[in-house]
């Protein structure tokens, strides 16, 4: 049964069919929680990749016969739920109508002239399954676990099991490359029952080790051309911490000290773009270009209805862009060792 609030690909507001290119763009699915839906990372990434005057990088086929694609997102869809782990998201499914994608920006027109909310796919299986009704399979599946999940042995093991039993068969069917976000440790140690995870740096190290274990587990069942990748967002946050402490503090939502602010989402988006395409996105050079990245965001988190959180400045965006490029180059070097 189709989901009435889930648009078909032809209706999806994120399609960029008008972009001039001899190749297609990438098709990207997002699976995760509020780390992705705060400030609407899926739609943000679509706009980030197509902004400004730049030369797109053509990504070579994974296998003979695959179509090359340029370094922007042609189509995205998602299954997201606040507070979810990869394990709970599989069983509970999408909750975005309740969790924020019910704004005017989320409304899209249907073929019969009515409007529905673009909340994403109802569940992970619906998002990732391959069937004749879908235009094409996914090139990438971007995933994030609950931040504390990979940092603890028990939840880490449970996630590895669900990845192997449920997610990997769908990845194989799509021939999609999985990307797991190394989410950032909390700004304030000990909040949200994380006392046992230590300092911000210790917490981050545990998250990174856990995400690495997810990649290693999936790699045992995936062919080489689907080698899982880590998006080193947490490493990027720590790099900002060590070089510009005041900017690091601005990467977090001021209301809770663990969700991303718009600056944090910008850094995360740059890391994801580098991880997917092996090259940085276009750098926005004016305040208007930065604001345009969120022009159609379904949700911009704010503490009060009338107080929007500030967007990154031009100078801050340039610094975060550089950090994302650097940490992703470092991650690529680690994979070659």
User: pLDDT in tens for each of the 337 residues of the chain?
Assistant: 333 333 333 334 444 444 444 568 999 999 999 999 999 999 999 999 986 444 455 565 555 456 678 899 999 999 998 889 999 999 998 887 776 777 788 888 888 888 888 778 889 999 999 765 666 689 999 999 999 999 999 999 999 999 999 999 999 999 999 999 999 999 999 999 999 999 999 999 999 999 999 999 999 999 999 999 999 999 999 999 999 999 999 999 888 889 999 999 999 999 999 999 999 999 999 999 999 999 999 988 776 556 778 999 999 999 999 999 999 999 988 877 6
Beta strand pairing call for 69-80 and 107-109: unpaired
Range of the domain at 100: 24-336
Residue 4 lies in a domain: no
Q: Work out the number of other CB atoms within 10 angstroms of the CB of residue 171.
A: 23
Rama region for 143: left / alpha / beta (φ>0; ψ in -120 to 50; rest): beta
Residue 15 lies in a domain: no
Residue 6 lies in a domain: no
CATH classification at residue 245: 3.40.50.1110
For the chain, the 3-state helix, strand and coil shares in percent, each to the nearest 5, are 45, 15, 45
Answer yes or no: are the C-beta atoms of 258 and 190 closer than 8 Å: no
Residue 284 lies in a domain: yes
Q: Count the domains in the chain.
A: 1
What one-character DSSP code corresponds to residue 195? Answer: G
Question: For residues 99 and 59, what is the distance between their CA atoms, to the nearest angstrom?
Answer: 35
| Among 214, 237, 117, residue whose Cα is nearest residue 168 | 214
pTM listed for this prediction:
0.88
Residue 117 lies in a domain: yes
Residue 201 lies in a domain: yes
CA-angle at 113, arms to 111 and 118, nearest 5°: 70
Residue 13 lies in a domain: no
Residue 1 lies in a domain: no
């Amino acid at each position: 049964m189709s989901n009435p609030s889930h648009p078909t690909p032809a209706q999806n507001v994120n399609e960029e069919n008008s972009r001039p290119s001899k190749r297609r763009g990438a098709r990207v699915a997002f699976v995760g929680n509020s780390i992705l839906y705060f400030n609407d990372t899926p739609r943000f990434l679509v706009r980030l990749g197509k902004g400004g005057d730049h030369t797109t990088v053509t990504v070579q086929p994974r296998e003979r016969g695959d179509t090359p694609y340029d370094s922007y997102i042609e189509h995205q869809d998602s299954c997201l739920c606040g507070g979810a782990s990869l394990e709970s998201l599989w069983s509970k499914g999408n909750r975005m109508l309740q969790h924020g994608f019910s704004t005017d920006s989320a409304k899209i027109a249907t073929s019969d002239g009515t409007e529905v909310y673009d909340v994403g796919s109802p569940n992970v299986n619906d998002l990732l399954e391959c069937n004749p009704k879908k235009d094409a399979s996914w090139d990438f599946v971007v995933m994030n676990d609950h931040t504390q999940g990979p940092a603890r042995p028990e939840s880490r093991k449970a996630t590895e099991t669900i990845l192997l039993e449920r997610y990997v068969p769908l990845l194989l069917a799509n021939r999609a490359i999985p990307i797991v976000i190394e989410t950032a440790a909390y700004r304030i140690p000990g909040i949200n029952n994380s006392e046992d995870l230590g300092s911000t740096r210790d917490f981050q190290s545990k998250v990174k080790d856990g995400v690495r274990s997810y990649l290693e587990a999936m790699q045992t069942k995936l062919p080489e051309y689907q080698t899982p990748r880590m998006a080193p967002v947490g490493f990027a946050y720590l790099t900002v911490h060590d070089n510009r402490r005041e900017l690091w503090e601005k990467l977090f939502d001021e209301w809770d000290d663990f969700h991303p602010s718009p600056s944090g989402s910008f850094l995360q988006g740059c890391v994801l773009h580098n991880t997917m395409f092996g090259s940085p996105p276009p750098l926005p050079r004016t305040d208007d270009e930065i604001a345009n990245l969120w022009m159609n965001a379904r949700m911009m988190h704010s503490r009060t209805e009338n107080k929007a959180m500030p967007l990154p400045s031009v100078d801050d965006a340039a610094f975060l862009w550089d950090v994302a490029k650097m940490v992703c180059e470092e991650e690529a070097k680690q994979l070659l060792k």
